[in-house]
Amino acid sequence: MEDLNLLTYLESFLTERRKARFEKVLSNRTRHFTVAIEDVFQLHNTSAVLRSCDIFGIQDVHIIEDKYSDRIDAEIAMGAQKWVDLKRHQSAQACLDHVRSQGYQIVATTPHKKKCRLEEFDIGQRSCFFFGREKDGLSDLIMEQADCFLSIPMVGFTESLNISVSAAIILQHLTAKLRMSDANWGLTEPEMFELRIDWCKKTIKSIDQILDHYYQSH
């Protein structure tokens, strides 16, 4: 009840248009798929992948920071970091162990393994899509522990795509297919409730003072 009262209080500071926007976005959010980015050096690539995750409804993004850290460019992400949940891992193994514990299969994206083409991918299983370094791709550790490999069909001379382009193509295709399926892909009511509170806090100006006033009066 306390959380419900808090949400009602916070939403009183939002316009009806903003509240409707939250509801619409939440209705298309999913944790059926998630994304992991391994040690991407170029700042704009990590940020662009993050932006694609927000656009296509992926709520959680895992960032492996074995070599590089703080690779989020706010200007390129265009606020996406406010709306998706970032989970940082200090090693690839820590990330692998975490997503497996959450029931995800490990999907290594690579142009060099042809076991599964994008249009053939089975969307029924919860999956974490791993994207690797610009030059070297995913580490041997992830490739060895992957449950399956996913590739984008290519018919030109070029053998690979930029990581941010690859992520956008894969996420657009698979999330569109997911929403047309019978899979139970949406967020639970408690998950949506928690995000509504979180997004309110990230939206409202002077939120610290507003929260102080709320807790002093309750």
Average pLDDT over residues 71-87: 70
Residues 6+ away with beta carbon under 8 Å from 84? 50, 53, 54, 58, 59, 60, 61
Comparing 3 with 97, the larger pLDDT belongs to 97
Q: Which residue has the higher pLDDT, 70 or 130?
A: 130
* Diameter of the chain measured on Cα atoms: 66
User: Could you give the CA distance from residue 38 to residue 104 in angstroms, rounded to a whole number?
Assistant: 17
**Which class is 31-186 in CATH?**
alpha beta
Per the model's pLDDT, the better-predicted residue between 66 and 191 turns out to be 191
110, pLDDT greater than 90 = no
Q: Where are the beta strands (DSSP E) in the chain?
A: 33-38, 60-64, 85-89, 105-109, 127-131, 148-150
Binned at pLDDT 50, 70 and 90, residue 76 comes out as very low
Higher local confidence (pLDDT), 153 or 187:
187
CA distances from 29 to 58, 108, 144 (A): 6, 22, 30
pLDDT of residue 65: 79
Domain ranges within the chain, ordered by starting residue:
1-29+191-218, 31-186
Do 113 and 125 meet the contact criterion of CB atoms below 8 Å apart?
no
Least confident of 109-123, 143-157, 187-201: 109-123
Q: Quote the pTM value.
A: 0.90
**Do 132 and 35 contact (CB within 8 A), yes or no?**
no
Neighbours of 174 (CB within 10 A): 22
Write out pLDDT tens, residues 133-166: 766 789 999 999 999 999 888 888 877 788 889 9
Confidence (pLDDT) at 81? 78
d(CA 95, CA 206): 35
Q: Which residue has the higher pLDDT, 178 or 110?
A: 178
- Summarised one tens digit per residue, pLDDT across range 40-71 is 656 677 888 999 999 999 999 999 876 655 55
